[in-house]
Amino acid sequence: MPTTRSHMPNDGRPRLDAATAAVRVGVRRSLASCSDGATVLACVSGGADSMALAAALVFEAESRSIQVHSVTVDHGLQPGSGDVAERTAQTLGTWGIEAHVEQVSVTDAGGPEAAARDARYRAIDAIADRIGAELVLLGHTLDDQAESVLLGLARGSGAGSLKAMASLTGRYARPLLGVRRQQTQDSCRERGIEVWSDPQNEDAAFARVRARTVVLPVFDHELGPGIAEALARTAEQAREDEEAFEQMIGEFIEEICEPAEAGISVEASALAHNPAALRNRVIRYVANAEFGVSLSRAHTLAIAALVTAWRGQGPIDVPGISVSRRDDRIVFTAAEKA
């Protein structure tokens, strides 16, 4: 059955506020990629971003007979988190959403943020598979995008990290990347939607929180308003560049690479005759695609020196890989395990 919005807050109000309109436009654009009558899953924490998203999804889904499900993941990291998840699901149920609550166990491997994210996405994928979701909607906003770009800059991890989040990756869609966080809060307030404020969003132990509450406000104050929008535009441009490079590298790799014993080799002269940006990306691509290794900048340049500063030096050993030059070939092989 199609989702009904008969129990939505302020469902019959005559005036559509600008914030709600912006959220609905974002959701409508994302839904354009799925078929009428499809099943769509919204990831809803109970915060303003995801609640505004869910409300807009119910509204936009009705005319296309789209079946709306939601999933609220309880990480169990805070006292009362289970109650928050259940209350959120109950509210969504009154809107006609088929609401699911998933409890996950979070280990500290790789850090608490990464562990919680990995556990969350495993739970989301499991629900999406079970219900046959054609699209999974996430509530990331323009502010989240700006924070991701800023953190990428701080890490110094190259242009690839600046592309931040895509509006669509596989079945995962982010309809609100053009919507400010303040707009989702305004939409919920205008429509009388009760939201939950996650205390971790104010915990300065997390770098993202410091970027949000300290760094970006300073930029706005010192450099003028519009910094978040500028960072989000940077992400869009970086993504366009990255996609173009990936296509070029894919075509280039086929011409210059060939299998080697226990690895792969690359034509050194071809690398030498191309710009450093392309050469270094090919090196990183081979390391990651063939060996699952993410090279640091220093390791990438050391390998590139086998092309640009060849003086008969021996192999370059980096974590997981040994790279050597043999005549006009740069040979990548798996490092011997100790």
**Spatial separation of the C-alpha atoms in residues 267 and 327, rounded to whole Å:** 9
Domain 18-235 belongs to what topology? Answer: Rossmann fold (3.40.50)
Would residue 58 be called left, alpha or beta, if left means φ above 0 and alpha means ψ between -120 and 50 degrees?
A: alpha
Q: What is the mean pLDDT of residues 280-294?
A: 92
261-334 has CATH 3.30.465.60 classification: yes
Confidence at residue 243, expressed as pLDDT on a 0 to 100 scale: 83
Confidence at residue 265, expressed as pLDDT on a 0 to 100 scale: 95
**pTM for the predicted model, two decimal places:** 0.79
Q: What is the pLDDT of residues 85-134, one digit of tens each?
A: 999 999 999 999 999 998 877 766 555 667 777 888 899 999 999 999 99
Confidence at residue 44, expressed as pLDDT on a 0 to 100 scale: 97
Q: What is the mean pLDDT of residues 162-182?
A: 93
Domain span(s) for CATH 3.40.50.620 in the chain: 18-235
Q: What is the enclosing helix (H) or strand (E) of 227?
A: helix 227-256
Q: What is the mean pLDDT of residues 155-180?
A: 86
**Spatial separation of the C-alpha atoms in residues 157 and 134, rounded to whole Å:** 33
Residues near 323 by beta carbon (within 8 Å), at least 6 away in sequence:
303, 306, 315, 316, 317, 330, 331, 332, 333
Confidence at residue 310, expressed as pLDDT on a 0 to 100 scale: 92
Cβ pair 28, 61 in contact under 8 A? no
Q: What is the pLDDT of residues 181-205, one digit of tens each?
A: 999 999 999 999 999 887 777 778 8
DSSP state of 156: T
Domain span(s) for CATH 3.30.465.60 in the chain: 261-334
Sign of the dihedral defined by the CA atoms of residues 306, 310, 316, 321, in that order: positive
Sign of the dihedral defined by the CA atoms of residues 41, 45, 47, 49, in that order: negative
Confidence at residue 247, expressed as pLDDT on a 0 to 100 scale: 83
Q: Is 40 exposed, middle or buried (0-12, 13-18, 19+ CB in 10 A)?
A: buried
Q: What is the mean pLDDT of residues 68-72?
A: 97
Confidence at residue 82, expressed as pLDDT on a 0 to 100 scale: 85
The one-letter amino acid at 177: L
- Is residue 218 scored above 90 in pLDDT? yes
Confidence at residue 275, expressed as pLDDT on a 0 to 100 scale: 92
